[in-house]
Chain A
Amino acid sequence: GDSVTQMEGPVTLSEEACLTINCTYTATGYPSLFWYVQYPGEGLQLLLKATKADDKGSNKGFEATYRKETTSFHLEKGSVQVSDSAVYFCALSGVNDYKLSFGAGTTVTVRA
């Protein structure tokens, strides 16, 4: 079945450092790909999405590109802030599928 594997954490960075969280997937066809973020005590929020190969999703300085050839959707940010401290989840939804399949999550802590 469909699955997502993402980089294990935790990840600790200094403010203004670069962040990359790796995500690879297994699915048939062309799934839609997502990054969700979960701040302490809150629900998951959609950070960005990509629905077809070579699409680039972007939001709040974060970017991820849908790479069909490497089945990857890595999350990147060039300069992180303390407010980016959260748990990040890579997810996919298969063709004609109503559910989201999530990775295990990566905890990111940014120090001032």
Chain B
Amino acid sequence: DAGVTQSPTHLIKTRGQQVTLRCSPKSGHDTVSWYQQALGQGPQFIFQYYEEEERQRGNFPDRFSGHQFPNYSSELNVNALLLGDSALYLCASSLAGALYGYTFGSGTRLTVV
């Protein structure tokens, strides 16, 4: 049974560019959350998607946006990249309402130069 799949695993972008990261949830899960993990820090919540809608958002600027598709997969888009956006981006899936059942992917390492 495949867990959470994220792509790509590594990415290098230039300041000002835009990036799209992708996430396929664990089979049977319908909710996707995105987290940003800077080096040496804990993950910070970006937003959560359920039923193709953003259900909750963390303290991130509008440059960060997302989407959830009918098959529950999700994308995270970041516009006008800054050096400070360099981080590991983690996707976590769950069943709606199942707070204790998050499954995390291995993440996408984004480097902005």
Residues of A within 8 A of B (CB): 4, 32, 34, 41-46, 49, 51, 89, 91, 93, 97-105
Contacts and interface: CB of A to CB of B under 8 A. Distances in A.
Contacts of A89: 42-43
A80 to B, nearest CB: 22
A102 B42 contact: yes
Given A43-B106, A44-B90, A93-B99, A102 B33 contact: no
Interface string B80-113: 0000000000101000000110111111000000
B42 A105 contact: yes
B48 A43 contact: no
Interface residues of B, number: 24
A66 B75 CA distance: 36
Interface of B: 3-4, 33, 35, 40-45, 48, 55-56, 58, 90, 92, 99-100, 102-107
Contacts, number: 53
Given A44-B90, A49-B100, A98 B56 contact: yes
Contacts of A104: 40-42
A99 B100 contact: no
Closest 9 CB pairs of A and B: A102-B42, A43-B104, A99-B45, A44-B104, A98-B56, A43-B106, A98-B48, A104-B42, A102-B43
A43 B56 contact: no
B101 to A, nearest CB: 8
Nearest to A93: B99
Given A43-B4, A44-B90, A32 B100 contact: yes
B113 to A, nearest CB: 23
